[in-house]
């Protein structure tokens, strides 16, 4: 069975990230002062109700942020959820109802809409990509091309949209890229084959982490030519990343893998978009990594409608 990266769930780690982001978001809006617009017009005792409503179709992601925001900012608000994360949403759908102190509702309006709009945007774009590969063996993966500080939140949203999470950080797996090989060759004067590097790294992990944990860690190596793939397959890395290969070359790479090391997973990467992903998936690769899922997602428009 192929090894897999950790899939981001709504756990203590993501909640801790979210708490820090919420504190920063409030500081951006209030500084160390107040929401003077609201305080000048709205009495402290005023209560009301608003509905967060979809203005576009998409995939819902980020609902757990709302109760966390209420708790962290000590808001006098109650939330009722009409949809859950991963649900398909349509224009006009009522997603969440917030009821309570009008001052709190107004002061945090942009905070909650910014968080939800971003996460729904990532989930929605991911679903669009995932639909393009339906019926093939390929799965769509995200990358580390994420907004600083937002990585777990954005990867959670990818998961909500039907995508699969690639490594969450440099700590999670080994990924040998062209720059690693270039430096190693130049600095050591050794013309090491790619397969040799896989063996060196595997032994290093075992020495550092012990045999069980060292062998558990994923080793991925990047190639951009079939000759390199042929060199590395006998060493059996867990994944080989096929960088910027056209569909004809990817098909040949899959055939070579099937002959030499069928257990090795192949990942296509490099400039993949909605026009090209279907053809890439049909070559037989196992994984397709798409940086656009996070670096090019556009916030989905959500309304904040008073009842």
Q: State the catalytic residue, choosing from 137, 177, 216, 225.
A: 177
Annotation says 110 is catalytic: yes
Q: What is the three-class DSSP state of 219?
A: strand
Helix (H) or strand (E) holding 284: none
Q: State the catalytic residue, choosing from 94, 144, 145, 278.
A: 145
Q: State the catalytic residue, choosing from 85, 154, 220, 222.
A: 222
Annotation says 177 is catalytic: yes
Task: Classify the phi-psi angles of 113: left when phi > 0, otherwise alpha if psi is within -120 to 50, otherwise beta.
Answer: alpha
Contacts of 255 (CB under 8 A, 6+ apart): none
122-154 burial string, b = 16+ CB within 10 Å, else e?
bbbbbbbbbebbeebebbbbbbbebeeebbbbb
Annotation says 278 is catalytic: no
- Chain-centre distance for alpha carbon 100: 33
In angstroms, rounded to a whole number, what is the distance separating the alpha carbons of residues 153 and 167?
14
Q: State the catalytic residue, choosing from 243, 278, 282, 301.
A: 243
In angstroms, rounded to a whole number, what is the distance separating the alpha carbons of residues 14 and 85?
15
Annotation says 167 is catalytic: no
Annotation says 222 is catalytic: yes
Contacts of 161 (CB under 8 A, 6+ apart): 59, 61, 86, 122, 123, 124, 125, 126, 127, 130, 293
| 225 token code pair | 């030519």
Task: State the catalytic residues.
Answer: 110, 145, 177, 222, 243
């Amino acid at each position: 069975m192929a090894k897999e990266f950790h899939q981001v769930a709504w756990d203590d780690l993501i909640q801790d990230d979210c708490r820090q982001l919420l504190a920063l978001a409030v500081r951006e809006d209030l500084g160390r002062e107040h929401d003077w617009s609201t305080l000048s017009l709205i009495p402290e005792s005023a209560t009301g109700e608003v509905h967060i409503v979809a203005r576009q179709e998409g995939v819902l992601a980020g609902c757990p942020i709302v109760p966390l925001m209420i708790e962290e900012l000590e808001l006098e608000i109650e939330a009722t959820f009409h949809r859950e994360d991963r649900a398909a949403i349509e224009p006009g759908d009522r997603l969440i109802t917030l009821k309570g102190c009008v001052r709190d509702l107004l002061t945090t309006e942009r905070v909650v809409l910014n968080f939800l709009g971003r996460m729904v945007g990532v989930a929605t774009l991911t679903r669009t990509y995932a639909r393009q590969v339906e019926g093939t063996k390929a799965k769509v993966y995200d990358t580390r091309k994420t907004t600083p500080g937002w990585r777990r939140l954005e990867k959670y949203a990818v998961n909500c949209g039907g995508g699969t999470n690639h490594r969450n950080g440099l700590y999670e797996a080994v990924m040998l890229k062209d720059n690693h090989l270039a430096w190693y060759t130049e600095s050591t004067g050794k013309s090491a084959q790619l397969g040799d590097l896989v063996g060196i790294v595997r032994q290093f992990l075992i020495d550092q982490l012990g045999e069980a944990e060292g062998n558990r860690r994923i080793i991925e190596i990047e190639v951009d030519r079939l000759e390199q793939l042929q060199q590395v397959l006998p060493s059996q890395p867990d994944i080989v990343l096929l960088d910027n290969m056209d569909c004809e070359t990817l098909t040949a790479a899959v055939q070579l893998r099937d002959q030499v090391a069928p257990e090795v997973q192949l990942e296509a990467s490099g400039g993949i978009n909605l026009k090209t992903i279907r053809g890439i998936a049909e070559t037989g690769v196992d994984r397709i990594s798409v940086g656009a899922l996070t670096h090019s997602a556009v916030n989905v428009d959500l309304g904040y409608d008073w009842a």
